[in-house]
Each structure stands twice: as structure tokens, then as C-alpha cells.
Amino acid sequence: MDIVFLILGFALLILGAGKLVDGASSLAKLFGIPNIVIGLTVVAFGTSAPELVVNLIASFNNSTQMVLGNVIGSNIFNVLGILGICSFIYPLTVKSNTTWLEIPLALLAGVVVLIVSKDMFLDNSSVDIISRTDGIILFCFFLIFQVYSLQVAKSGVSDNQEVYDTKSFSKLKSVVYILLGFAGLIAGGEFIVSSAVNIAKQFGISERVIALTIVSIGTSLPELATSVVAARKKNVDIAIGNIVGSNIFNIFFILGISAFINPVLVEAGNYMEIYINIFASVLLFLFIFSGKGRKINKVEGSIFLILYVSYLLFLIFK
């Protein structure tokens, strides 16, 4: 029964995120907010809303392994899984802003998580923990990234600019969609966290492994759908920009907020995925220059997918 609730949770989460984005985008448009600002805020929030809601609920429930596993697991899946899949649909050409600013920023996010979690090494603490202060630091990085994104968008030099087709509804319908979206997100998040914890207990699997596999893949489905559709339409800058932006958002905003609500205990086993997250960003950066024209082709995509499947098998059967 928990598996049914888990699937139902993912369905409610994704549908809720969609309704929230449609309603909030329409309402913002009615108040005259520029389309690019809607894209960088409302739409960006919408694709990461599943990770955010699951993490908030896990934080309040003191499921800190779910918090860290969901964020880091989603980031690993985004690069190795989603970009690997998209490269088979169409070669992914990486633009200059993404290459020199956003991918390094995603790498920096991974390194910052490593640094703030190393309390025993850096502060002679008895445990490694991402504290509330660390959460504030991560959130400050997020604010800097948002300012950068808005400045680049306004200057018109962004390589990842996207025309957001915002739907237009009446104010009442927009508000109803927003409320339905929040309801779906909250109900879906509750179902996912509670059922995932129960499944972990029933099968003797740690919350960490459940979060790194089933939960992180499920909450990344909006990013998968967005990037696959973009790749099929040959909008490869959107396919990559969506993933890199999501990875930055996941760590700086979602993990930052989660740690501020409830400090996140970092266990010895967590460092493997923290290092893999950093490695995935480094590999993405290196693969850009492995061929001609800063492209990620099927060869690089195959390596991404092989690495991700190997990682999953290691988690499950170790």
C-alpha cells in the first residue's frame, strides 16, 4: 500500500507544481510583471517545487537523511541521468554563459556543501552537521545567483533565455489554481515522505538510499520532462540551462532553507554522494571540451548513463 501512496504522492506533487506555475504565472502577468522575471522566478520555482516541498516536510519530520539524499540525489540524476538521456535525443551544445558561469557555479555549490558539512575536520566538532548558519550562507549564495540571473536577463546577453508561454486566466481562476497547486504539493509531499520512510523500514533499506534513488528521481521528473521536450525541439540551451539552474537552486535555496529549519546531520556515508555530485559537475565541464563545438554527444551521454546506473546498482546491492 505504501508503494501506491508513493506513486500517488509523485502524481499529486507534479500536478500541483504545474497548477501552481500556471496560476502564479497568470497572476504575475495580470499585474504586469515581465515575462523573463516570471521565467526566472515562478517557472524556475515550479520545476524545483517537488524537491522543495519534500525537503520542507522531511525537515519538519526530522528526516535529515531524506533532506540531504533528495537534494544531492536529484543533482546527480539531473547531470548523469537527464543529460545522458537528452544527449541521445539531440547533441547538446553548451553556450558560453552556461560553460563559464553557471556550470562552475553548480560546481561551487557542491564544494560549498562539502566545506560546510566538514565540522569534525574544520571545527573539531563531535559530529558533521549543516547548521542553521550554514543554511543562511547557502541562501545568501542563492540570492547572489538570482541577482546575477536577473541582470543577465535584463541585459539581453543570456544564452539561456527562453520565451515562457504563460497562460492567461482571470484573477479568480489564477488564485484557485495557486491554491490547488499548493494543496497538491503539500499532500503529495506528505505521501512521499511518509510512504518512503515506511518502505525503507519494511525492506530494511536506509532512508538515505530511498532518498537517493526513488525519491530523488521522482522529484526530478519535472526537470526530466522539461529537458527532454527542449531537446526534442532542438532547444538544447534550455535543456542544459534547466538542469544546471536546478542544481544551483537545489543546493543554495532548498538545502539552505532545509538546514535553517532543522540542521542536517551528515553521516560518513553521505560523503560518497557529495563527492559524486562534485565529480558529475567536473565531468560535465570537461566533456564540453572533449569534442568540437562544445557539444555533449551520445558518447559522453553513454558515459553519463553508465556511471549513473553503476551508482544506483552500488547503492542498492552494496
Coil/strand/helix, residue 130: strand
Coil/strand/helix, residue 265: strand
Q: Does domain 2-317 have CATH number 1.20.1420.30?
A: yes
pTM of the model: 0.89
Instruction: Tell me the sheet residues that pair with 296.
Output: 92
256, amino acid identity: G
Q: Which of 176, 72, 177, 159 is nearest to 114 (CA)?
A: 72
- Stated as kind and residue range, the H or E segment containing 296 is strand 295-296
* Domain extents in the chain: 2-317
Higher pLDDT, 108 or 159: 108
Q: What are the pLDDT digits (tens) for 212-260?
A: 999 999 999 988 988 898 899 888 877 888 899 899 999 999 999 999 9
Q: What are the pLDDT digits (tens) for 277-292?
A: 999 999 999 998 876 7
